[in-house]
Structure 1
């Protein structure tokens, strides 16, 4: 349902991030905890991936055109009693490399967003997970800016690294508060002379505990019932991060079983589509994933060695650990803190060997015991930390500040 008017809120939020409801990002998990208590304007942006002549760009372009020409202020929901943010899907120019491109986007965004932002209660705080809005800092009529750093996007192959790096550097210099989703990301920010509040990802522990022991019931996952067992399951974006050699080795080790890749497919190695006993389901509703975990014998994260992967803090890690299934992952810093609760592999061969072992042994009792601490890593706790940071930031400003005193317009 549309978010009700919140009487005398401590602050209002303007959030720049991925499209609301498109996939369960950390930012969406956090902001859901603010709905109904704070006014939230959620800005669906065009993303940072450079347009190409491929199926992914075409599909994404269709999505954005629908959003622009069939605009909706609130997301659809099966539960109409749940509060929702106000959503704006501004028209944007899909390029950022040239100064001309960035000026055009700045003007487009300011023209469309300024009236919406000015209608919010003061103080207004803008929070962004994407560097491409750096040129709005000091121009959009908000009181403060927060950069929530969730990934090292400048290292992503499908993005223009030098441009993203330049915009992120500009954003880090200009914002009031920086929040980092992982220690490696916080270290990168510290090298640029700023301190970041460390806010690791959380998890809806009860959701995974309640559903992960039930078989797959969702129609989109019904195919799991007919696949040869055992089932080795991955969920997430099936993209350049997924290592085809590791998946191939795992598929051989799991034979005659099946490796199942659950999630949207884009920019992945063509070899993944050619591997025997490897099945891709495509995207499924987030609510279906606990049932997929229940059907799995082993959960995996077969990522390649890449700087962006090394710097990342995978959102699915705590989701995996909230189930009662063995987990095998690649060796990256974010995984090592949970080395007593899962198995870490340094090569495709070791990865496949560990998967084969866990298919035979199941979850060791020591790993099961180590996972008990996952229950403390809730999104509610993470949102409470973010709320304290935002409230402290808002306290610097008076609720009765005149909108005319704030920066605005295009210069």
Structure 2
């Protein structure tokens, strides 16, 4: 692919705008890009086929996908359009795939995009690259996608290999993945997650409890994020909550675990909250947690909530993972429930100084990281034809 000039971005997103936390890397980057040029965000076309055996979760996933499809193209803000093409994984995808590029081109034209930079955060989007004829390609390699639970690892690996080969810029959040694949892609770069620093710092300083947290006694240990088996360790968490029945555990986020996975009286499952509110939920905790499992996915992760936790300014206890080495002096680590209990009690027993953590991430804003991506593209000969807009 020979890079050229582009007049907007078509992003094959890794999530669905309507149903997922808007703190995700691709959504945040597209928000920033839309201040400079038109953006068309394609809701995730999926990496795995929902299974009937998932029970209520299967019905939930299918229902929300149908609702997403019914919305068509929606301009959610100036220069930012969200679109769900008629597509799906598995057999349905094979049938309708030839019609997807036309759907996307029409939606892009309505956004004023005719020479798109295509940004891929969902590897199966690679199948539409030739038909879209992009001016340039950015591959967001922010996770080990082929290790995601339920995907066809051979298919996702094949998508990954082509994207690595053809991308004008491949973005990494994990130095582990970058080191593994540096020789496979012509323009790799480490540009990790940003943070809406002012929002999260302000929440930490103001410390106003949301209404559904105010009545929960202290001390509180909080987790904000997806409660999903491919990242979250339910066995570790349940053992921890049983050991610490004098602590209230507040979990905020969508959950794909069985509905009855946790019935402990000191665990409060508050569900998914709008992105604009999550900082207040973090600030309502006395200590913040990342109880990850030990999967290949987690080993190569770099969760966005780490910088958000640091900006809010509360003690952090986490399972160890590769990228955490860069924050070793700012985060307590543990490998089992006993270790988590020990570190949580130590954090609660002494005054905490949030200043070092906040200073570490103060300049790591999403705006700064988006500007870094634009600089890297320009160095590769890829330039925007659009002028910045006032879009904030």
Task: Give the TM-score of the pair, scaled to structure 1.
Answer: 0.83
1:213 & 1:193 partners in 2: Cα distance?
A: 43
1:359 Cα deviation after fit: 1.6
Structure with greater contact order relative to length (CA < 8 Å, sep ≥ 6): 2
- Secondary structure of the residue aligned to 2:262 is helix
Residue aligning to 1:289: 278
1:245 equivalent in alignment to 2:235? yes
1:11-410 pair list within 5 angstroms: 11-17=7-13, 18-21=15-18, 22-24=20-22, 25-53=24-52, 54-75=55-76, 83-95=78-90, 103-117=94-108, 120-121=112-113, 123-190=115-182, 192=184, 194-216=186-208, 218=210, 222-240=211-229, 241-266=231-256, 268=257, 272-363=261-352, 365=353, 368-393=355-380, 395=382
2:92 & 2:183 partners in 1: Cα distance?
A: 29
2:114 & 2:196 partners in 1: Cα distance?
A: 31
1:263 Cα deviation after fit: 0.2
| Number of aligned residues | 375
Name structure 1 gaps, 5 residues minimum. 1-8, 76-81, 400-411
1:189 & 1:235 partners in 2: Cα distance?
A: 31
1:302 & 1:261 partners in 2: Cα distance?
A: 11
2:363 & 2:259 partners in 1: Cα distance?
A: 40
- Secondary structure of the residue aligned to 1:64 is helix
1:344 & 1:354 partners in 2: Cα distance?
A: 7
1:34 & 1:47 partners in 2: Cα distance?
A: 23
1:351 & 1:16 partners in 2: Cα distance?
A: 38
The 1:121–1:57 alpha-carbon spacing in structure 2 relative to 1, beyond 3 Å, is: same
The 1:349–1:270 alpha-carbon spacing in structure 2 relative to 1, beyond 3 Å, is: farther
1:49 Cα deviation after fit: 3.0
CA contact (8 A) 1:123 1:397 kept: no
132-141 vs 102-111, greater mean Cα deviation: 102-111
Map Cα deviations across residues 148-190 of structure 1 (whole Å, 9 max, x no partner).
1121111112322222122212222233321112212212322
The 1:184–1:73 alpha-carbon spacing in structure 2 relative to 1, beyond 3 Å, is: same
- Secondary structure of the residue aligned to 1:340 is coil
The 1:390–1:283 alpha-carbon spacing in structure 2 relative to 1, beyond 3 Å, is: same
The 1:108–1:394 alpha-carbon spacing in structure 2 relative to 1, beyond 3 Å, is: farther
1:102 Cα deviation after fit: 5.7
2:244 & 2:348 partners in 1: Cα distance?
A: 8
- Secondary structure of the residue aligned to 1:242 is coil
CA contact (8 A) 2:238 2:262 kept: no
2:250 & 2:67 partners in 1: Cα distance?
A: 31
1:250 Cα deviation after fit: 2.9
CA contact (8 A) 2:317 2:331 kept: yes
CA contact (8 A) 1:260 1:280 kept: yes
140-149 vs 248-257, greater mean Cα deviation: 248-257
CA contact (8 A) 1:325 1:362 kept: no
RMSD in angstroms over aligned alpha carbons? 2.5
1:114 & 1:323 partners in 2: Cα distance?
A: 41
1:48 & 1:338 partners in 2: Cα distance?
A: 31
The 1:398–1:297 alpha-carbon spacing in structure 2 relative to 1, beyond 3 Å, is: closer
- Secondary structure of the residue aligned to 1:197 is strand
1:398 Cα deviation after fit: 9.2
CA contact (8 A) 1:212 1:292 kept: no
